[in-house]
Amino acid sequence: MANVVVVGAQWGDEGKGKIVDWLSIESDVVVRFQGGHNAGHTLVIDEKVFKLSLLPSGIVRPGKLSVIGNGVVVDPHHLVKEIAQLRSQGVEISRDNLRIAENATLILSIHRQLDALRENSSEGTKIGTTQRGIGPAYEDKVGRRAIRVMDLADLSALDGKIARLLSHHNAIRRGLGLEEIAARTIYDELAAVADEVLTYMDRTWLLLDDLRKGGKRILFEGAQGALLDIDHGTYPFVTSSNTVAANAATGSGLGPGAIGYVLGIAKAYTTRVGGGPFPTELNDETGHLIGTRGHEFGTVTGRPRRCGWFDAVLVRQTCRTSGINGIALTKLDILDGFKEIKVCTGYRLDGETIDYLPASQAAQERVEPIYETIQGWEGTTQGARSWADLPAQAIKYVRWIEELIGAPVALLSTSPERRDTILVHNPFQD
């Protein structure tokens, strides 16, 4: 049995929550390995909607262990709030089904404030973040001044750590003409949630290794998408962590040999939230129609998503940077009834044809999509659970995408409902 990594193959919002939930039937453990509560995973189970942003999607399934790995930045107050919300919906959460890495970095109020300050500034610092403090928390992590989950276990030793943190942040605040943050403020906000968070703390690298050696099947759940990767995405309009599949190892404490199969999630079209390049964006009635049909609003922010045709260049590129073995194609039903459907198969850049997205921000803004057109289909794909339920032209579209991106479609999703999924290849069987 292979351990499976699920990553977004576009700019996020591809439907990872449903796919992870669907795959969790086969898994014993679900691990979040990067990002924070800027993720937005919506699960629809028996018409009941669960909205997750920090907790792994496996948390809603009885008998599954959910793990928040060391690569995640954890807002302790949001964690407590999200747990309370799920409990109010009937989900049981305890140490039996949730563990948090002792060495995960904490997001504090000063991180949220700095994030919002940058996003709302007129100084050119806006990049479209969720203003949840994710980026500033990662900055403190690599700056070696972060406060981590394990630090909550010894509140008496916090003073020196808070002083080190504030020597950096208060210098920034003074430069911006803002009031400095008192050490007591940070101490009090941590002390208020310490006991609750510590309930779930563990040496998750050791726990996961023991589970792996014991034959348990592990599902690694990525947040955001590969095109938001800090190294391989549309920089600087990216998130603050590595979202590609390789980070499942680093962000969980397991070696790369623990990864057996990489499943990329891609919509049958393309969406993006926030700023940054988007070669196939449609600022017309077609784009509006796709957004309306697809209910394209951010789970975390509520912001409308930008919509466009499927970009095979980008997905082919993320298949390479994440080592994707197969694709779960979602929201095929949103394209039902279109007379013609376009797919971007290449770009023009300064008069030349290229088959990749350049790394340069300026070049990304200049690329022009090269489209090929396929006939659409009559009838509906919504709710289809077998190839026989699909119109022939819809199958042709799926096969065309497979050819263009160089990866097979392993699963096909035809509605938000868990059961409306066509299994072509079970990733856990590799």
Mind spelling out the 3-state secondary structure of 262-294?
Answer: EEEEEECCEEECCCCCCCCECCCHHHHHHHHHC
CA 66 to chain centre: 16
Q: Which tens digits make up the pLDDT trace of 339-363?
A: 999 999 999 999 999 999 999 999 9
Q: Is 420 a catalytic residue?
A: no
Residue pair 347/430 in contact (Cβ under 8 Å)? The answer is no
Q: Is 13 a catalytic residue?
A: yes
How many Å from the N-terminal Cα to the C-terminal Cα in the chain? 6
- pLDDT bracket for residue 57 (50, 70, 90): confident
Cβ atoms < 10 Å from Cβ of 164:
15
Kindly give the pairing relationship between strand 352-354 and strand 98-101.
unpaired
Q: What are phi and psi of 129, to 5 degrees?
A: -75, 170
How many Å apart are CA 321 and CA 227, to the nearest integer? 10
Global confidence as pTM: 0.92
Of the residues 21, 28, 41, 333, only one is catalytic, namely 41
Percent of the chain with pLDDT over 90: 80
- 3-state helix vs strand vs coil in the chain, percent to 5: 35, 20, 45
For position 124, what pLDDT does the model report? 57
Give the pLDDT confidence score for residue 271 in this predicted structure: 96
pLDDT (0 to 100) of residue 300: 63
pLDDT band for 371, please (50, 70, 90 cuts). Answer: very high
Please identify which of the residues 13, 21, 229, 333 carries the catalytic annotation: 13
Cα 429 from Cα 325, distance rounded (Å): 13
CA-based nearest residue to 222, from 132, 299, 296, 322: 322
Dig out the tokens for 379 from the structure.
């009838």
**CA pair distance 57, 302, nearest whole angstrom:** 20
Q: Which of 271-275, 345-349, 409-413 has the lowest mean pLDDT?
A: 271-275
- Please report, rounded to a whole number, the percentage of residues in the chain having pLDDT higher than 70: 97
